[in-house]
Amino acid sequence: MTSDREKKTKIAIRDLYKIFGEEPESVLPAVKDGTSKNDLLEHHNHVLGLNDINVDVKEGEITVMMGLSGSGKSTLIRHLNRLIEPTAGTVELDGTNIVDLSQEDLRRVRREEMSMVFQNFALLPHRTVLENAGMALDVRGESKEDYESEARKWLERVGLQGVEDQFPHQLSGGMQQRVGIARALCSNAPVMLMDEAFSALDPLIRTDMQDLLLELQEELHKTVVFISHDLDEALKLADHLVILKDGFVVQQGEPQEILMKPNDPYIVDFISDINRARVLRARSVMEETTEAPADPAGEVDHEATLESLIARAKGETDLTYIVTRDGNQVGVLKMTDLFKALVPIEASDDGIRANAA
């Protein structure tokens, strides 16, 4: 695993604001002075979509942006390819500000640099699966004969070989979304934007699609921005997690760090009901040291879940394990520390449940 310091920032979001209304620029100073989303609507008849967003999307990582309905996550992802124009701020792709691009250059970015996978699949019903998968190359002017082999390759990669000549209505929802992913991959764009891509699917199919995305990412190392309202999904997929509320970033960082050190009552409520044993990893609970313990019970990988360690220890609390990464010791994990980490942080009375009500 490459450290954050070694990874290039692919997309840099800086001081980004979006205000919906007749004269958004006129109320921008009020927002910068601290006017809340509710007050902006009540007193100025404008809606605050994004409030001073600053996020670095690292190359080759999955960045998950999540929050409740109305948090601004879908508004934010649509700024990355400028489907929505910002009120203020910049979005830089490889150092180029998307906001300043001409329409011609913006079309090129959408065709070649960024692909998008939508919640509702967005397949053309009158085109075959093969034609839908090759749509990005078709838009670039390539003939069906030219893009056919590339489209077939990615359809096979997502498990859809043999259905190339069928139409979208003949496929299940999960299969349709696989076509959407194949289409995004067929474009060969380095950035994939995925807006609630799996939320319309049944739970089992959704899990399969998450596993497929992780499998593809292990192979392809795309820069993925994934929108979700589901914490379990976010924790499973994210290298970098951004949690939004009312248009601003409450907390962002490596998911394990957020779980262990939430910095806001809103985050505490978000994580209060998760299965900590299934989500937390050995690296998040261990003591960092290269000094071996006196009587280790064995070695465990730094990415092992606490759930797997509990099963291995058969409930014994007096054991100590050496934690390794790539075969080298990086820490020591005491089962007593593991069980302490399983105690959930108490949720606040006025947190997420009140917001969801």
pLDDT given for residue 355 in this prediction: 41
User: Do 209 and 335 share a structural domain?
Assistant: no
CATH of the domain at 321: 3.10.580.10
Q: How confident is the model at residue 137 (pLDDT cuts 50, 70, 90)?
A: confident
In a domain, 266, yes or no: no
User: Do 313 and 184 share a structural domain?
Assistant: no
Least confident interval from 103-117, 209-223, 342-356: 342-356
86 pLDDT above the threshold of 90: yes
pLDDT given for residue 286 in this prediction: 95
User: Do 336 and 223 share a structural domain?
Assistant: no
The answer for residues whose C-beta is within 8 angstroms of residue 312's C-beta and 6 or more apart is: 298, 300
In a domain, 355, yes or no: no
User: Do 160 and 90 share a structural domain?
Assistant: yes
Percent of the chain clearing pLDDT 90 (strictly above): 64
User: Do 297 and 252 share a structural domain?
Assistant: no
In a domain, 267, yes or no: no
Burial profile 120-148: b = 16 or more Cβ within 10 angstroms, e = fewer: ebbbeeeebbbbbbbbbbbeeeeeeeebb
In a domain, 99, yes or no: yes
pLDDT given for residue 282 in this prediction: 95
Number of domains in the chain: 2
Query: In terms of residue numbers, what domain contains 151?
Result: 4-261
152-175 pLDDT, tens digit each: 999 998 888 889 999 999 998 888
Give this prediction's pTM.
0.86
In a domain, 348, yes or no: no
In a domain, 274, yes or no: no
Least confident interval from 215-224, 268-277, 341-350: 341-350
How far apart (Å, rounded) are the C-alpha atoms in residues 23 and 15?
19
User: Do 237 and 311 share a structural domain?
Assistant: no
pLDDT given for residue 120 in this prediction: 75
User: Do 212 and 178 share a structural domain?
Assistant: yes
Q: Are 261 and 343 in contact (CB under 8 A)?
A: no
User: Do 228 and 174 share a structural domain?
Assistant: yes
Q: What is the mean pLDDT of residues 97-123?
A: 90
6-53 pLDDT, tens digit each: 789 999 999 999 999 999 999 999 999 999 999 999 999 999 999 999
User: Do 84 and 215 share a structural domain?
Assistant: yes
| H-helix or E-strand spanning residue 146 | helix 144-157
Q: In angstroms, what CA-CA distances link 127 with 90, 164, 170, 179, 240?
A: 37, 10, 12, 12, 36
Q: What is the mean pLDDT of residues 229-251?
A: 93
CATH of the domain at 181: 3.40.50.300
In a domain, 230, yes or no: yes
311-355 pLDDT, tens digit each: 999 988 999 999 999 999 999 999 999 999 988 766 544 444 434
